[in-house]
């Protein structure tokens, strides 16, 4: 690709926006070398701070949906006060610790009981792990053609150290019957109207009994922020955020598939389109629930359209993550043809962001296209072309940033 | 008016100072579209523009009624979808 065609491609990626406008807009995805979010979304969004949060990219006020700006991904752990906010329903009660209880039971549990925060903390051995929480629809706004929903850019995700009780220990206390099929979670949130389906999610029983599935009451060594599920949320490492029920108040072990709207209609993928594991008790002939995250990466050190002085190496840094296999390698290219292996940062566990870095020499002037391609330890790689699906999930297209060496 | 009553009821309980800054374009059908406020802020509309045609907006409004229980009278659906398509629709769909 010669310089002229690269710049033409860059201009195409920016669409109707000039480089100057794109760089000035809050949360522009063209700045990150992606196709742009819908123009209405770009105009409407702004930086706004919810109580206890730094200014985040506001997508919607009610229910609150706020995206983390890209600069917070220049470190492997996302601070609590910058962690993205995603709610489906507008009524989000402020929960007091004294009033909060967690009901445990269900038809496939031997016993029913209620836990207080004190008992959750004291009666079960604490466990902790670092894991990425990513909205299923992260990068939905980058879909071409666009699909409806919250038009997220790249920041509907975060990586934190979660600490809490293992769900399996709590289920063991309840006694899991042999016919147990799924475990269902409900939180304190609800719709503005009684008729709106309550946000209730289930996971397969084997995943609920996995040692890594937690009822987390701490995030990065502090209580969870209200907006991220205080006082406790479910943590399902590797699986998309929809299952990480916030402000959890009820856990039920059930013998039949959970059929509410949020399981049977929302969060579904056309069957067989992705290589992610299937949630067998929830499959229909046409579709299946989203499960684990697909392998992905984000370059955080380079801006599209950036001019870099010749002779100074171009540092390509970012984070990579996947659905729990762990990151095997990240490769960087500046021509789309040859790929060099980037250095990986400290291993914080297979569910965590993994930092990567690669230094590109800039001996000659001209245009470069900077790309990063993550590969999971299980051999999955990011895609060149979007795998389109109606609800806008699993966008893991390789980023393309055009840089001019001057 | 029912939509206005809902808005006022919500304003009493929720922190809407920021949300009030989101204003829908003034055009015929706007008052009916304001019923969307019963469940969510109006920035959802702007956010999902401009890529839906009238059929797309009709599907969205029907989803709000059928899946989420929005108390929007059936006879208002066409007026709302027309307003949304004309003001927040795909440019070529106008």
- Domains of chain A from N-terminus onward: 102-289 (3.90.420.10), 296-405 (2.60.40.650)
| Residue whose tokens read 């397969």 | A204
Inter-chain CB proximity B48 and A38 less than 8 Å: yes
Supply the pLDDT for residue A25. Answer: 83
* A interface test, pick of B44, B55, B60, B63 with most A CB neighbours within 10 Å: B44
The C-alpha atoms of residue B67 and residue A40 are separated, in whole angstroms, by: 25
CA distances from A135 to A129, A148, A194 (A): 19, 15, 25
Residue A55 has pLDDT above 70, yes or no: yes
| Residue whose tokens read 């359209």 | A305
Q: Are A215 and A121 in contact (CB under 8 A)?
A: no
CA distances from A343 to A317, A338, A354 (A): 9, 16, 10
Q: Please, which residues bridge with residue A176 across strands?
A: A109
Residue B4 has pLDDT above 60, yes or no: no
ipTM for the assembly: 0.91
Tokens (6 digits) for A82: 């910058």
Inter-chain CB proximity B47 and A38 less than 8 Å: yes
The C-alpha atoms of residue A391 and residue A137 are separated, in whole angstroms, by: 8
Tokens (6 digits) for A205: 């029983």
Contacts of A128 (CB under 8 A, 6+ apart): A161, A162, A163, A164, A218
Name the pTM for this structure: 0.93
Closest CA to A102 of A121, A116, A88: A116
Q: What is the DSSP letter of B30?
A: H
How sure is the predictor about A109, in pLDDT bands with cuts at 50, 70 and 90? Answer: very high
The stretch A48-56 carries a mean pLDDT of 97
* A interface test, pick of B48, B57, B65, B92 with most A CB neighbours within 10 Å: B48
pLDDT digits (tens, 9 = 90+) for B76-86: 999 999 999 99
Alpha-helix runs per DSSP H in A178-317: 205-208, 261-264
The C-alpha atoms of residue A391 and residue A110 are separated, in whole angstroms, by: 38
Query: φ and ψ at A263, to 5 degrees?
Result: -100, -45
pLDDT digits (tens, 9 = 90+) for A335-389: 999 999 999 999 999 999 999 999 999 999 999 999 999 999 999 999 999 999 9
DSSP per-residue letters across A217-232: EEETTEEPPGGGTTT-
Q: Are A158 and A224 in contact (CB under 8 A)?
A: no
Supply the pLDDT for residue A24. Answer: 57
Supply the pLDDT for residue B15. Answer: 52
Supply the pLDDT for residue B93. Answer: 45
Note down the domain range covering B38: 2-93
Lowest mean pLDDT among A55-59, B6-10, B14-18: B6-10
Closest CA to A402 of A272, A314, A275, A338: A314
Please state, as a whole number, how many other Cβ atoms lie within 10 Å of the Cβ of residue B69: 17
Query: φ and ψ at B54, to 5 degrees?
Result: -65, -35
Share of chain B above pLDDT 70, in %: 81
Contacts of A87 in chain B (CB under 8 A): none
Inter-chain CB proximity A146 and B70 less than 8 Å: no
Supply the pLDDT for residue B10. Answer: 47
Q: Angle of helix B54-66 relative to helix B77-88, nearest 10 degrees?
A: 130
The count of residues in chain B is 94
Tokens (6 digits) for A36: 């742009």
Contacts of A61 in chain B (CB under 8 A): 16, 18-19, 22, 41, 43
The chain-wide mean pLDDT, for chain A, equals: 94
Query: φ and ψ at A149, to 5 degrees?
Result: 135, -170
Inter-chain CB proximity B69 and A150 less than 8 Å: no
pLDDT digits (tens, 9 = 90+) for A274-323: 999 999 999 999 999 999 999 999 999 999 999 999 999 999 999 999 99
The C-alpha atoms of residue A304 and residue A325 are separated, in whole angstroms, by: 30
pLDDT digits (tens, 9 = 90+) for A181-229: 999 999 999 999 999 999 999 999 999 999 999 999 999 999 999 999 9
Q: Total structural domains in chain B?
A: 1
The stretch A376-404 carries a mean pLDDT of 98
Residue B11's CATH number: 1.10.760.10
The C-alpha atoms of residue A225 and residue A218 are separated, in whole angstroms, by: 9
Q: Are A49 and A55 in contact (CB under 8 A)?
A: yes
Inter-chain CB proximity A148 and B22 less than 8 Å: no
Q: Give the three-class secondary structure for A381.
A: strand
pLDDT digits (tens, 9 = 90+) for A7-50: 444 444 444 444 434 445 899 999 999 999 999 999 999 999 99
Q: Are A384 and A371 in contact (CB under 8 A)?
A: no
CA distances from A77 to A237, A358, A369 (A): 15, 20, 28
The C-alpha atoms of residue A117 and residue A317 are separated, in whole angstroms, by: 40
Lowest mean pLDDT among A71-85, A167-181, A234-248, B5-19: B5-19
């Amino acid at each position: 690709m010669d310089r002229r065609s690269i710049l033409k491609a860059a201009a195409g990626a920016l669409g109707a926006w000039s480089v100057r406008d794109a760089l000035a807009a809050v949360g522009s995805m063209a700045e990150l070398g992606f196709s742009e979010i819908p123009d209405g979304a770009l105009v409407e969004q702004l930086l706004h701070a919810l109580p206890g949060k730094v200014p985040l990219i506001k997508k919607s006020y009610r229910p609150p949906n706020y995206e983390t700006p890209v600069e917070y991904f220049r470190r492997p752990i996302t601070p609590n006060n910058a962690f993205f906010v995603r709610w489906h329903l507008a009524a989000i009660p402020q929960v007091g610790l004294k009033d909060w209880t967690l009901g445990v039971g269900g038809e496939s549990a031997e016993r029913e009981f209620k836990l207080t925060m004190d008992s959750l903390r004291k009666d079960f051995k604490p466990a902790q792990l670092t894991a990425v929480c990513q909205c299923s629809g992260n990068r939905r706004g980058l879909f071409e053609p666009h699909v409806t929903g919250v038009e997220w850019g790249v920041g509907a995700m975060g990586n934190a150290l979660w600490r809490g009780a293992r769900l399996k220990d709590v289920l063991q206390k309840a006694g899991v019957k042999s016919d147990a099929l799924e475990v269902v979670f409900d939180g304190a949130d609800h719709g503005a109207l009684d008729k709106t389906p309550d946000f209730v999610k289930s996971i397969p029983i084997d995943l609920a009994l996995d040692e890594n599935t937690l009822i987390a009451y701490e995030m990065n060594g502090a209580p969870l922020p209200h907006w991220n599920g205080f006082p406790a949320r479910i943590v399902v490492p590797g699986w998309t955020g929809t299952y990480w029920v916030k402000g959890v108040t009820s856990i039920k072990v059930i013998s039949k598939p959970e059929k509410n709207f949020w399981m049977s209609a929302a969060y579904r993928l056309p069957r067989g389109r992705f290589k992610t594991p299937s949630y067998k008790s929830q499959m229909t002939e046409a579709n299946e629930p989203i499960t684990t995250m697909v392998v992905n990466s984000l370059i955080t050190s380079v801006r599209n359209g950036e001019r870099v002085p010749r002779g100074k190496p171009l540092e390509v840094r970012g984070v990579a993550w996947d659905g729990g296999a762990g990151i095997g390698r990240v490769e960087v290219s500046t021509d789309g043809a040859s790929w060099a292996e980037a250095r990986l940062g400290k291993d914080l566990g297979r569910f965590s962001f993994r930092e990567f870095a690669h230094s590109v020499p800039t001996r000659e002037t001209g245009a470069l296209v900077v790309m990063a391609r993550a590969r999971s330890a299980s051999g999955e790689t990011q895609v060149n072309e979007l795998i389109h699906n109606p609800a806008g999930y699993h966008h893991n297209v390789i980023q393309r940033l055009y840089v001019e060496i001057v | 008016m029912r939509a206005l009553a809902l808005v006022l009821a919500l304003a009493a309980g929720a922190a809407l100072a920021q949300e009030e800054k989101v204003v829908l374009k003034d055009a015929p059908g706007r008052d009916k579209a304001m019923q969307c406020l019963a469940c969510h802020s109006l920035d959802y509309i702007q956010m999902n523009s401009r890529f839906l045609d009238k059929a797309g907006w009709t599907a969205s409004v029907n989803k709000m009624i059928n899946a989420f229980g929005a108390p929007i009278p059936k006879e208002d659906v066409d007026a709302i979808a027309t307003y949304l398509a004309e003001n927040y629709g795909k440019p070529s769909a106008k």
